[in-house]
A = this chain, B = another copy of it.
């Protein structure tokens, strides 16, 4: 177990390193207000902390930097919630103040504000669509051959899709189609729509609709909604400001990973409830070895539907970021729940 003095020193070392990005030595530590010990004493304590694996040297005679274990301990035991300036709070609130109904915009705004406040890169995983249920289906014919289908889900997600109509379809058939689909499919999860369509709806189509085989194929196309959630980004290039990313190689690697979509998707898809911090190699991904990822889930009603995340260097301002994400994920959950849960 660490002594109070060791805790203090560890905390100051990490705090300082997070601020300055420079290794810190015993002499500069001794000058700090909080610490009234000689540099020699501190040297002894630091040697112990190093032996325990919380801090490390970059070379034999350098100051110390936090190790991954050090950061982990810091995050778990040494940080306390940070006060967020009023002005910044208002920025968060402002996401939800405007009368925005559209989910996508709220989420994109969240990512932007998050990156703006933290100066790191924000990634938001949009709400699960898999669990979404169909709440409305409509067809709007554009001309003889094409129509646009509008699909609305219970979470406020709206999608439109062009498709081709059977030749010489009449108005009443279209109406019947819409009625049947609404009657049979509303309330069902999107994933099941295709199955239901072919099993249950097909029979009804056959009974009531001319040219039913073409129609059912078109509808099937339309209902084939991409099931992977979308990712929203904010401050993609904030990384370039961080001193740890002065190496163009590293930047390229991590940027590439960001652009690729699928990589981050998996990373965010399976995050535990609430705030979670993954430091460096804890992410189990070589590209992320020098990064920390802080995630927070958000929900609609009781259901956890998505994740907001901040990607930054391991030397991240953890307390501040965690406080901000706490606020934002709560506000986001509240706002979305108000709008879309029934």
Contact = CB atoms under 8 A, between A and B. Distances in A.
Interface of A: 99, 101-102, 135-136, 138, 140, 142, 146, 148, 150, 152, 156, 158, 160-164, 236-237, 240-241, 245-246, 248, 251-252, 255-256, 259
B259 A240 contact: no
A48 to B, nearest CB: 38
Q: Which 8 A-B pairs have the closest CB atoms?
A: A101-B162, A240-B252, A237-B255, A138-B140, A158-B160, A160-B160, A246-B248, A102-B162
Contacts of A248: 240, 245-246, 248, 251
A87 B138 CA distance: 41
Nearest to A252: B240
Contacts of A162: 101-102, 156, 158
A256 B235 CA distance: 10
A300 B256 CA distance: 34
Contacts of A135: 142
A163 B140 CA distance: 18
B148 A158 contact: yes
Contacts of A148: 150, 152, 158
A140 B149 CA distance: 11
B237 A259 contact: yes
A140 B146 contact: no
A160 B140 CA distance: 12
A138 B142 CA distance: 11
Contact of A252 (B140, B160, B241, B255): B241
A256 B236 CA distance: 10
29 contacts: A99-B164, A101-B162, A101-B163, A101-B164, A102-B161, A102-B162, A136-B142, A138-B140, A140-B150, A140-B152, A142-B152, A148-B150, A148-B152, A150-B150, A150-B160, A156-B162, A236-B259, A237-B252, A237-B255, A237-B256, A237-B259, A240-B248, A240-B251, A240-B252, A240-B255, A246-B248, A248-B248, A248-B251, A251-B251
